[in-house]
Amino acid sequence: MQIVAQIVFLIALVFGISFFVRNIKKMLRNIKLGKTIDRSDNPSERWSKTLRIAFGQSKMVRKPVSGFLHVIVYLGFIIINIEVLEIIIDGLFGTHRVLSFMGGFYNVLIGIFEVLALLVFIGVIIFWIRRNVLNIYRFLSRELKGWPKNDANYILYFEMVLMTLFLVMNAADYQLQINGAVHYAHEGGIIGGFPISQFIAPLFEGLSNSTLIIIERGAWWLHIIGILFFLNYLYYSKHLHILLAFPNVYFSKLKPKGEMDNVEAVKKEVALMMDPNADPFAAPPEGEEEGEPEKFGASDVMDLNQVQLLNSYTCTECGRCTAECPANQTGKKLSPRKIMMDTRDRLEEVGDNINKNGKFEDDGKQLLDDYILREELWACTTCNACVEACPIGIDPLSIILEMRRYLVMEQSAAPNELAVSLTNIENNGAPWPYNQMDRLNWAKEN
Amino acid sequence: MAEAIKVPTMAEYMAEGKKPEVLFWVGCAGSFDDRAKKITKAFVKLLNEAGVDFAVLGTEESCTGDPAKRAGNEFLFQMQAAMNIEVLNGYEIKKVVTACPHCFNTIKNEYPSLGGNYQVMHHTQFLKSLLNEGRLKVEGGKFKGKRITFHDPCYLGRANGEYEAPRDLLKKLEVELIEMRKCKSNGLCCGAGGAQMFKEPEPGNKDVNVARTEQAMETNPEIIAAGCPFCNTMMTDGVKSKEKEDSVAVMDVAEMIANANDL
């Protein structure tokens, strides 16, 4: 009987992990559809930023309430996972509480897990209330209607159930030890610390040992299967940030926020224009094919860079960006969070298209217009509030800028008044129609 | 008031075979916008007061390309940058000061990879250095004890991490500095950036400058201090929309210092 359980466990574990790996590979392939971008510079600064912002959660706590709760859930997630290690060993080798040889330290450890499990449970309840009861601006946006809202709630329910199962398992175990059940009780007394579950255990008083074993085993199995299920749910949810936040912060921009990249393709063109010796009609040098001219800006996900695509998978839709956005606050359609959600949705659509057809077949859709509207793009003030607000280094502004580049350079589709200003800059070196020769007139006026 | 201010150009310096200590990049707003011209003049008066050997490009200056870049016209931006860098490098400019955070950001951050490498300072940073060197004296006087709030320009603050220079200057003026609930890295934009200055706002339920002015009004200020000609325009319009222009002034930090020094 024991060996059957071990085999079932092994199958569940292998299936759960391999399905997850398969999806992660798909995600990496999708990210690689983007343009390459070199973010290998300054590794020491990148590591320190990752330690501070991702591991240290330094930007999370800028909002004290949600930040504090998040730190609890984060610590709970990391520390309770040590327990998962024990569960996996027990499951594979048919042992029970294999790490208990550590004695007193083990008891303390299990005690800490229990306290954290309770804190996580409470934290998640408060998160649920914030999302569903309190009218918090960033949870009311139109882009959260439907699936995103349900998705967020499913994740919270999941965490509640996992924490409950963990505590119920311990409570049943504790009661079995008190009852002196075979395989559970030890001569040296109680194994494990049960500061929380000892208050659940009285509910089990009077139950037969066999019933208690069913409860204990049931909770154990549901807990580990739940964890494997949750692992695989990540890819289909907004919740990949628990893994991707770390690489995302590592690869985030180190330069001043105000600095926007100078497009290389344009540099070449401008250099050619500025060179008095350049021959505009020159044939390409011998042996070089005249390639298709490079597309400027982005109208679809393949035109974005790999860090921008990683950003889209990392976004957990917390909406701190949108809450800080001046355009969003004044009722405009732009929401930086929606920019990230749209990018990911379109990337997934392109990925599915590749899965189906072997390579990308034109589906008559693109990120621009079918997902992100021009009205959203033109509402941005490039103020960087969204970039500053993101706790894990996502840069929605860079995507907005790439898409504006496409609109202006490929389509000449700037809003009218803006187009006039750009023409003024081109003709007389100022956004207003003043002559460059009048630039110093102010010095003579009184 | 009527005495003409001294504004030498780089061409004049070149003709005399001299080089100034710093180039004052005036910017389009500072050159053409009636409100911003007052800031330009106030800053020039302070430069003269401190005995700074400076020059402007005058008719050789052209838009840095900031609005073009942020509107998505990278071509136009790089053309503007190339022309300006050619002029600046031709004069062997080493140090640039400007009263416009957009020019500041563009020249400081985006010109280097296009061949333009200069030490670039925002005018509040430069004035602070003059103060520290003892070349400029700032006394409270007129502004002592006045309730003043400072609006952070996005391209000075968040974009380049400079929050203290303008505040240090205001403290020298012995004002009662009251921060808005959204300030420094959390500051709300005035609504002009990203080329919004040059287009109609997208449909919404409020203008950004009005929203920001409301935040400023919560501090019940006598003066809203600014450090950017575009913010200045936006906040001035915001104050007008609230019909408070008689009781609340919008002033650049440089104007306040020049005013306190009776320049």
Dig out the tokens for A113 from the structure.
Answer: 């897990």
Question: Rounded distance, CA B34 to CA A319, Å?
Answer: 40
Q: Is residue A94 part of a domain?
A: yes
Residue A162 lies in a domain: yes
Residues in chain B within 8 Å Cβ distance of A387: 158
H helix runs in A180-208, sequence order: none
Amino acid B103: pLDDT: 98
In a domain, A108, yes or no: yes
Domain shared by A299 and A233, yes or no? no
Average pLDDT for chain A: 92
Report whether A113 contacts A79 (CB < 8 A). yes
What pLDDT, in 10s, does the model give residues B127-153?
Answer: 999 999 999 998 777 899 999 999 999
Is residue A445 assigned to a domain? Answer: no
ipTM exceeding the 0.90 mark: yes
- Under an 8 A CB cutoff, do B158 and A418 touch? no
Q: Is the pLDDT score of A183 beyond 90?
A: no
A313 within domain boundaries = yes
Claim to verify: residue A310 and residue A194 sit in the same structural domain: no
Domain co-membership, A115 together with A213:
yes
Q: Which residue in the set B58, B61, B72 is minimally distant from A405, CB to CB?
A: B72
- By C-alpha distance, which of B172, B128, B150 is closest to B250? B150
Q: pLDDT by residue (tens digit) across A303-329?
A: 999 999 999 999 999 999 999 999 999
**Mind listing the pLDDT tens digit for each residue in A51-107?**
999 999 999 999 999 999 999 999 988 888 888 888 899 889 888 888 888 888 888
All domains in chain B, ordered by first residue: 10-131 (3.40.50), 138-260 (3.40.50)
Burial code (b: 16+ CB inside 10 Å, e: under 16) for B220-252 equals ebebbbbbbbbbbbbbbbbbeeeebeeebbbbb
Do A72 and A207 reside in the same domain of the chain? yes
**Same-domain pairing of A203 and A317:** no
- Domain check: are A188 and A308 in the same one? no
CB nearest A384 (choices: B41, B113, B158): B158
User: A-chain residues within 8 Å CB-CB of B76?
Assistant: 422, 425-426
Which of chain B's residues have a Cβ under 8 Å away from the Cβ of A430? 28, 31-32, 62-63
Residues A235 and A329 reside in one and the same domain = no
Query: Quick count: other Cβ atoms within 10 Å of Cβ A358?
Result: 8
Q: Which structure tokens are listed for A339? A: 């920019």
- Give the residue from chain B lying closest to A273, CA to CA: B79
Q: Is residue A268 part of a domain?
A: no
Name the CA dihedral angle for A381, A382, A383, A389, rounded to a multiple of 10 degrees: 120
Which is higher by pLDDT, A276 or A153?
A153
Q: Cβ contact (<8 Å) for A262 and B73?
A: no
Report how far residue B77's alpha carbon sits from residue A266's, in angstroms, rounded to the nearest whole number: 10
Higher pLDDT, A194 or B119: B119
Burial degree of A392 (CB within 10 A; 0-12, 13-18, 19+):
buried
Q: Residue A422 domain-assigned?
A: yes
- Asked if residue A234 is part of any domain, the answer here is yes
- Using a CB-CB cut-off of 8 Å, the residues of chain B touching A404 are 70-72
By residue range, what is the domain housing residue A191?
A: 2-31+63-239
**Which member of B58, B114, B193 has the closest CB to residue A440?**
B58
CATH assignment at residue A393: 1.10.1060
- The last residue of one of the domains, among A239, A269, A284, is A239
Helix (H) or strand (E) holding A150: helix A147-179
**Which of A218, A13, A177, A194 lies closest to A117, judged by CA?**
A194
Report the domain count for chain A: 2
Taking the model in full, what pTM does it have?
0.93
For residues A229 and A233, give the distance between their C-alpha atoms in angstroms, rounded to a whole number.
6
A210 and A324 part of one domain: no
Residues A301 and A410 reside in one and the same domain: yes
Give, to the nearest 10 degrees, the angle between helix A2-31 and helix A306-314: 140
Given the structure tokens 């042996």, which residue do they identify?
Answer: A287
Cβ proximity of B21 and B95 under 8 Å: yes
Q: What percent of chain A shows pLDDT beyond 70?
A: 97
Task: Give B196-211 pLDDT, tens digit per residue.
Answer: 999 999 999 999 999 9
